[in-house]
Amino acid sequence: MFSLLADKLDNTFRRLRGLGKISEKNIADALRDIRLALLEADVEFGVAREFIGRVKERAMGQEVLKSIKPGEQIVKIFRDEIAALLGGDAVGLDLTDPARIMVVGLNGAGKTTTSAKLALRLKNEGRRPLLVACDLVRPAAVDQLATLAEQIGVPVYKPAPGSRDVVAVAREALEWARTQNGTVMIFDTAGRQEVDEALIDELRQLHAFLSPRETLLVADAATGQQAVNVAQTFDRAVNVTGIVLTKLDGDARGGAALSMRSVTGKPIKFSGEGEKLDQFGPFVPGRMADRILGM
Amino acid sequence: TKFSRSSRIDWEELEAELVAADIGIRRAMGIADQLKESKGLDAENLVESTREVLRRAFPSTAPSLPAPPEGKPLVILVVGVNGTGKTTSAAKLAHLLQKQGSRVLLAAADTFRAAAVEQLQSWADKLNIPICKGAPSQDPASVCYEAHTQAIREGFQYLICDTAGRLHTRHNLMEELSKIRRTLAKQDASAPHSTLLVVDATTGANALAQAREFHKATPLDSVIITKMDGSGKGGVAVAIMDEMHISPSFLGTGEGAEDFEPFNRDRYVDSLL
Ligand SMILES: Nc1nc2c(ncn2[C@@H]2O[C@H](COP(=O)(O)OP(=O)(O)OP(=O)(O)O)[C@@H](O)[C@H]2O)c(=O)[nH]1
Ligand SMILES: Nc1nc2c(ncn2[C@@H]2O[C@H](COP(=O)(O)OP(=O)(O)OP(=O)(O)O)[C@@H](O)[C@H]2O)c(=O)[nH]1
Ligand SMILES: [K+]
Ligand SMILES: [Mg+2]
Ligand SMILES: [Mg+2]
């Protein structure tokens, strides 16, 4: 296991060894370094504080005090705790009939791409997905989804140009679906900022109308401190059932994953790892923990 | 006040506030340390003093676009990672320049992403801006070259090239940007005259890595920070300014064509905390 953070802490402890026994104060200093690492990885301030408070006891324990490489030991404890939190009660998608999945999130997070990626994945599992374009705002959003749907050979519902009412579009799409022999419907929605109450309300209405089994919040791995507000607001409005973390093919440390998971308790179900539609898969908590701690 | 318990300053609370704006923990601690040294500081004037430190990080006037060179179009290249708002910002900037009486041509050089050309086309139609389009999977450098030819031939004052989103970690895609740059220089050695990095205000520390890598591939003149209408404060601009001395020039404040404004450091800093 290699980590700059672990190395740094080991060096600190090694110097201390010369002075005698490792004290609780030394461990407190190590915890401060861990806190810095979490904040630099974009874990939200309050989440980082709470998380360290909770894991502190284990990090202060005998296994660390007696270990040859206490720095590495402490980092490992945090790594395992992060992985456990991120992976806690991760479950698959609920696709019981009528299987409807609503895809929501901030502007540009990757919703449309994720909708198509998910459709492809479900199709490869032997299901018959249908895509529905419910973004009536962004220019050419319907074209974008339709192009992707064609690439993967999945039927797509395209609202009539000029449609403005998403609930009406969803109703038409349900009508259309009767003729399609699909087994699961995926609804792509327009991007919105969580502080935009009118747009959040529109999403709430669509959610109430569809009663989807799954409501997936799509979030960019590079999201900063606002991840907490974003996840909480969307969750309160449309009861998120899972999170999809996108753009993990970049080098963002991805602390937003920890923030969102901590404050909503909702599992991170999938991750996006590229622009191509097959660059998508189940979220791997251990890898994410390594990433957040810079390992 | 917010940062005081009785009359003492709560430094951790100040740091929390700065971190919440995505300024970064190290910079936040640096500001706190700097302020601890200063005399006459109390909980009453702490916010103002902090703002003053932040204001000083930025130039007093934001970078503006240079005037178009004599008889040639001023070429603007819009770059950034996926989904930040490049296409929307390119359209908004074209709209702004056109409103000021200039003749502007848009180049749709994202030939990769599904319906990216249609997206810019639809903005161009709505705002009545001429557009030069690439065919699906056409080499983006060749689209820019053709658009540049047209802009020179038809006497446009500005050419704004929208490019595909790319993560700064993808070496070959970053190379593609260098190629676009070289191709634009063929018809005018000084083009592109302005390269703008589009950064999402919701982004955390990674924005600095984005700026570094894009700057290597195609030297940046300034940054556009988008989605300032959301809860993201865009504090990463401070880090980009600190390390790279590249200032924001425009802010995106919504999804509409008019939701775009020149960067104003006082207003920006006041919104940070
Ligand atoms: N590198 C990378 N790019 C991605 C990933 N997921 C999406 N993208 C890209 O991110 C950009 C935005 O994706 P979209 O699917 O259009 O995002 P959106 O959330 O639907 O955007 P709006 O509908 O405008 O809110 C596009 O350039 C996508 O190709 C990913 O996992 N990795
Ligand atoms: N609220 C808000 N949304 C914005 C702003 N700027 C852009 N957007 C939205 O962000 C999303 C992505 O914008 P695009 O212009 O497609 O982004 P892009 O960088 O061109 O995306 P790719 O080409 O896929 O990399 C769209 O939903 C835009 O409407 C802004 O300032 N505020
Ligand atoms: K804001
Ligand atoms: Mg979309
Ligand atoms: Mg674009």
What are A155-177's pLDDT values in tens digits?
999 999 999 999 999 999 999 99
The B-side interface with A (CB below 8 A) comprises 16, 19-22, 24-26, 81-85, 112-116, 118-119, 121-123, 126, 167-170, 200, 202-207, 209, 227, 229-232, 235-236, 255
pLDDT for residue A62: 77
| 3-class DSSP string for A138-159 | CCCHHHHHHHHHHHHCCCEECC
Distance A1 CA to ligand 4 centre (A): 39
- What residue's CA is closest to ligand 1, atom 24? A108
Q: Tell me if A194 and B206 make a contact (CB, 8 A cut-off).
A: no
Instruction: Quickly state the pLDDT bin for A2 (edges 50, 70, 90).
Output: low
Omega of the bond prior to B262 within 30 degrees of 0, cis?
no
Instruction: Quickly state the pLDDT bin for A13 (edges 50, 70, 90).
Output: confident
pLDDT for residue A19: 55
pLDDT for residue B144: 98
Mean pLDDT on A241-257: 98
Residue with tokens 């998608």: A93
Instruction: Quickly state the pLDDT bin for A20 (edges 50, 70, 90).
Output: low
For chain A, how long is the longest CA-to-CA vector? Answer: 78
* Whether the predicted model's global pTM rises above the 0.95 cut: yes
Distance of CA A152 to the CA centre of its chain: 24
Q: Residues 6 or more apart from B207 whose CB is under 8 A from it?
A: A222, B22, B199, B200, B236, B239, B240
**Distance between CA atoms of residues B12 and A224, nearest Å:** 19
In this complex, which of A139, A247, A255 lies closest to B119 when CB atoms are compared?
A139
pLDDT at position A135 over 80 = yes
Mean pLDDT on A6-33: 76
In chain B, beta strands by DSSP E:
4-5, 8-9, 74-79, 104-108, 131-133, 158-162, 194-200, 222-226, 248-252, 260-262
pLDDT at position A39 over 80 = yes
CB atoms near residue A282 (< 10 Å):
12
pLDDT at position A124 over 70 = yes
Q: Tell me if A275 and B82 make a contact (CB, 8 A cut-off).
A: yes
pLDDT at position A29 over 90 = no
Residue B242 in contact with residue B212, Cβ under 8 Å?
no
CB atoms near residue B229 (< 10 Å):
18
pLDDT for residue A14: 73
Give the torsion through C-alpha atoms of B119, B133, A220, A33, to 10 deg: -140
pLDDT for residue A7: 82
Residue B134 in contact with residue B96, Cβ under 8 Å?
no
Q: Residues 6 or more apart from A162 whose CB is under 8 A from it?
A: none
Closest ligand 1 atom to residue A107 Cα is 25
pLDDT at position A74 over 80 = yes
Residues A95-104 have pLDDT tens digits of 999 999 999 9
Q: What is the pLDDT along chain B (273 residues), one digit of tens a residue?
A: 566 655 678 999 999 999 999 999 999 999 999 999 988 888 889 999 999 999 999 999 999 999 999 999 999 999 999 999 999 999 999 999 999 999 999 999 999 999 999 999 999 999 999 999 988 889 999 999 999 999 999 999 999 999 999 999 999 999 999 999 999 999 999 999 999 999 999 999 999 999 999 999 999 999 999 999 999 999 999 999 999 999 999 999 999 999 999 999 999 999 999
**Which residues in B55-64 are b (16+ Cβ under 10 Å) and which e?**
eebbeeebbe
Q: Which two tokens stand for residue B103?
A: 């003749």
pLDDT for residue A214: 98
Angle (deg, nearest 10), helices A70-87 and A24-40:
50
Residue A280 in contact with residue A119, Cβ under 8 Å?
no
- Higher per-residue pLDDT: B54 or A21: B54
Residue A74: CA count within 13 A, CB half-sphere: 31
Q: Which two tokens stand for residue B121?
A: 């086309």
pLDDT for residue A60: 83
**Distance between CA atoms of residues A259 and A38, nearest Å:** 10
